[in-house]
């Protein structure tokens, strides 16, 4: 089969399984090639014969079948795929994937898989909204699993709401999007985003107002461009961006530890608003208010500089390290100095003086500072800025490979 087009389709046992036949038909029309695993539940809804006729390939279903394993072992089934698509994905297969279970061919193949995975959930609305299912889907998303749908509408069970399998054409479009290499395919990226919380005691912390919007937008844009993207984020109100491996942390120390854990990468973008200081000691118990007494004195200590740590010369240094600088005066001058001090390659310098109204807003007005000097960018939304930055990163890597 042609590389870049091979889909291992796993059909699990939902009422929408019959629509998987349409996914195969529409996908083949667009050049996709299918191998299919039909679970026992899936075979209750569609026959192996109809799947085989439409896909033009034999259908695999048994983990311990001599013929299946002799002809095509479960490891080879996934190794020879460019994408694994689970459609429809029932609550059961989602739970198995989230918990690493391997008790049939489909779940075993998924566990042995290192290819991108796209799931198209389909189930009753109450099941879909159940915290257990939502937690499992969140776990999968955090591991970089892509999710298409479900949509809202009339469900086969007679109820109405979220849970309908995405339209087969949308499923095929999502699969094609993942199979088309982007300008950063094959590269690894790491992004820090959001604020950090530095604990004073078990209930209090020192934090800041960073929304994480810019960092999350950059992570999403890197993933959309094909980079294997890890996002390490402090507490924000934002959903995890699609296609990223997300790690939630609270303190600067945790952010640094996670960051070091994920090196080496090709590209690092430090967009987090890391707290400069933390309480020197975290009180083990909630600090008590003393009636008539004086307020406690909190001694601060300096946090590690994550950007400077990543950018320091060494074997683990990413090929491109990008930092941010928020300045209220002499923006380009101070940011140029910061670029040198922190030894990063590029700095996005942001004028956050009160007149600009940039702080916390939806837009950003930056100067990109590189080794060749500053470049003024127009005012852009945070999403547009992320896309422009990623286009710039892609151009840089293209130039380097020429």
Catalytic positions, written as ranges: 157
What is the size of the binding site for ligand C5P (CB under 6 A)?
A: 13
What 3-state DSSP class applies to 261? helix
How many angstroms separate the CA atoms of 68 and 73, rounded? 7
CB of 325 to ligand C5P, least distance (A): 5
The CA-CA-CA angle for residues 295, 299, 300, to 5°, reads 130
Q: What is the dihedral of CA 380, 180, 26, 30, to 10 degrees?
A: 120
Nearer to ligand C5P (CB atom), residue 179 or residue 272: 272
CB of 274 to ligand C5P, least distance (A): 3
Among residues 171, 221, 272, 332, the one that binds ligand C5P under rule CB under 6 A:
272
Paired with 21 in beta bridges are none
How many angstroms separate the CA atoms of 31 and 158, rounded? 36
State yes or no: residue 195 binds ligand C5P (CB under 6 A). Answer: no
Using CB under 6 A as the binding rule, the residues of this chain from 294 to 313 that contact ligand C5P are 303, 305-307
Using CB under 6 A as the binding rule, the residues of this chain from 219 to 258 that contact ligand C5P are 252
Nearer to ligand C5P (CB atom), residue 168 or residue 323: 323
Among residues 7, 166, 270, 320, the one that binds ligand C5P under rule CB under 6 A:
270
Q: How many CB atoms are located within 10 Å of the residue 237 CB?
A: 8
CB of 232 to ligand C5P, least distance (A): 10
**Long-range CB pairs of 41-45, under 8 A, 24+ apart, other chains included:** 41/12, 41/13, 41/14, 41/90, 41/92, 42/11, 42/12, 42/13, 42/17, 43/13, 44/13, 45/13, 45/14, 45/15, 45/17, 45/18
CB of 275 to ligand C5P, least distance (A): 7
How many angstroms separate the CA atoms of 40 and 58, rounded? 16
Nearer to ligand C5P (CB atom), residue 192 or residue 336: 192
Question: Could you identify the residue written with the tokens 């934090």?
Answer: 207
State yes or no: residue 274 binds ligand C5P (CB under 6 A). Answer: yes
CB of 203 to ligand C5P, least distance (A): 24
Nearer to ligand C5P (CB atom), residue 149 or residue 195: 195
- The contact set with ligand C5P (CB under 6 A) reads 192, 252, 270-272, 274, 303, 305-307, 323-325
């Amino acid at each position: 089969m042609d590389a870049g087009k091979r889909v291992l389709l796993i059909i699990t046992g939902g009422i929408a399984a019959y629509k998987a036949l349409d996914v195969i038909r529409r996908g083949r029309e667009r050049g996709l090639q299918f191998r299919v695993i039909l679970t026992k539940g899936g075979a209750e809804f569609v026959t192996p014969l109809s799947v085989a006729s439409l896909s033009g390939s034999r259908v695999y279903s048994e983990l311990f079948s001599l013929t299946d394993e002799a002809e095509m072992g479960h490891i080879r089934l996934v190794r020879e795929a460019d994408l694994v698509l689970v459609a429809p994905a029932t609550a059961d297969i989602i739970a198995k994937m989230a918990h690493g279970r391997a008790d049939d061919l489909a779940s075993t193949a998924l566990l042995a898989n290192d290819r991108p995975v796209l799931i198209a959930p389909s189930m009753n609305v109450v099941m879909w909204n159940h915290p257990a299912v939502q937690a499992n889907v969140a776990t999968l998303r955090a591991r970089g699993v892509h999710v298409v749908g479900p949509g809202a509408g009339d469900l086969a069970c007679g109820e109405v709401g979220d849970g309908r399998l995405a339209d087969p054409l949308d499923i095929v479009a999502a699969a094609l999007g993942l199979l088309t290499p982007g300008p950063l395919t094959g590269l690894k990226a790491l992004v820090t985003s959001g604020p950090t919380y530095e604990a004073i005691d078990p209930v209090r912390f020192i934090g800041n107002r960073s929304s994480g919007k810019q960092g999350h937008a950059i992570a999403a844009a890197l993933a959309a461009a094909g980079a294997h993207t890890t996002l390490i984020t402090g507490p924000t109100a934002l959903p995890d961006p699609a296609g990223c491996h997300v790690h939630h942390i609270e303190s600067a120390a945790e952010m640094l530890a996670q960051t070091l854990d994920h090196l080496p990468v090709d590209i690092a973008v430090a967009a987090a608003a890391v707290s400069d200081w933390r309480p020197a000691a975290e009180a083990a118990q909630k600090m008590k208010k003393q009636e008539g007494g004086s307020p406690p004195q909190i001694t601060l200590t300096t946090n590690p500089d994550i950007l400077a740590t990543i950018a320091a010369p060494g074997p683990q240094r990413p090929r491109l390290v990008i930092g941010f600088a928020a300045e209220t005066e002499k923006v380009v001058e101070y940011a140029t100095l910061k670029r040198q001090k922190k030894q990063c390659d590029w700095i996005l310098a942001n004028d956050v003086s009160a007149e600009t109204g940039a702080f916390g807003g939806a837009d950003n007005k930056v100067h990109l500072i590189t080794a060749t000097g500053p470049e003024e960018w127009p005012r852009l939304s945070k999403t547009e800025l992320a896309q422009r930055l990623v286009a710039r990163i892609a151009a840089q890597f293209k130039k380097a490979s020429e």
